[in-house]
A and B are shown apart, each in its own frame.
Chain A
Amino acid sequence: AQSVTQPDIHITVSEGASLELRCNYSYGATPYLFWYVQSPGQGLQLLLKYFSGDTLVQGIKGFEAEFKRSQSSFNLRKPSVHWSDAAEYFCAVGAMGGGNKLTFGTGTQLKVEL
């Protein structure tokens, strides 16, 4: 069974600073990887996804993530954070043959200081 670990429960950054949110996964084959963002009381919005191909994936809102198979990681990055990026971020893993099921990490709460 697949699993996802997001080691950082809370992260605080200053507006304009760079950001990296960590995600490690466990899965026997090549996983499908996702990053979602959730604002309070809202559903999830997809930031980016990795299925195959180029391991550096560009997403919406200036986010990118890099798939590193050797480290079983899929960290999310943004070079310059905006105050509106404050939200909860979830990493998720899916698997072919898994019925499109997703397993979510526990989330990282991002706070942006002005």
Chain B
Amino acid sequence: GAVVSQHPSRVICKSGTSVKIECRSLDFQATTMFWYRQFPKQSLMLMATSNEGSKATYEQGVEKDKFLINHASLTLSTLTVTSAHPEDSSFYICSATASGGYNEQFFGPGTRLTVL
């Protein structure tokens, strides 16, 4: 149990276009989902926290107008990178956690975004 999927696994786009990444919890209801960004050979940096039905909370330095996060249901959150530029190229990972107390985060397999 506790499986989180991401789609797509890889995406290549042209500069200036927008890209949507989906994060789904397949076998549990995720009241909270997290989006991370990971540069090559570096650690995970939390971008934002999203709670179902609420606006996402962004970490300091993350542009909320550039990285749009929607958590419309208990099993789906989306990250849209708007007007992508080459510097947005990165590995994006989502995680999900269920409700109640302190809960373990379950991570998706990640999405490799390359902006040309």
Q: Which positions in A face B, CB cutoff 8 Å?
A: 32, 34, 36, 41-46, 49, 51, 90, 94, 96, 99-107, 109
Contacts and interface: CB of A to CB of B under 8 A. Distances in A.
B43 A102 contact: no
A86 B93 CA distance: 21
A107 B44 CA distance: 9
A73 to B, nearest CB: 18
Interface of B: 4, 6, 32, 34, 41-44, 46, 49, 91, 93, 95, 97, 101-110, 112
B112 A41 contact: yes
- Chain B at the A interface: SS class: strand
B32 A43 contact: no
Given A46-B106, A106-B43, 14 more contacts: A43-B93, A43-B108, A44-B95, A49-B104, A51-B102, A96-B101, A99-B32, A100-B97, A100-B103, A101-B34, A102-B46, A102-B105, A103-B46, A106-B42
A101 B44 contact: no
A99 B44 CA distance: 17
Nearest to A45: B107
- Chain A at the B interface: SS class: strand
A100 B49 CA distance: 9
A41 B103 contact: no
B107 A99 contact: no
Contacts of B108: 43
A73 B32 CA distance: 28
B46 to A, nearest CB: 7
B39 to A, nearest CB: 11
A102 B94 CA distance: 12
Contacts of A94: 102
Interface centre among B49, B107, B112 (most CB of A within 10 A): B107
A44 B106 CA distance: 8
A90 B103 contact: no
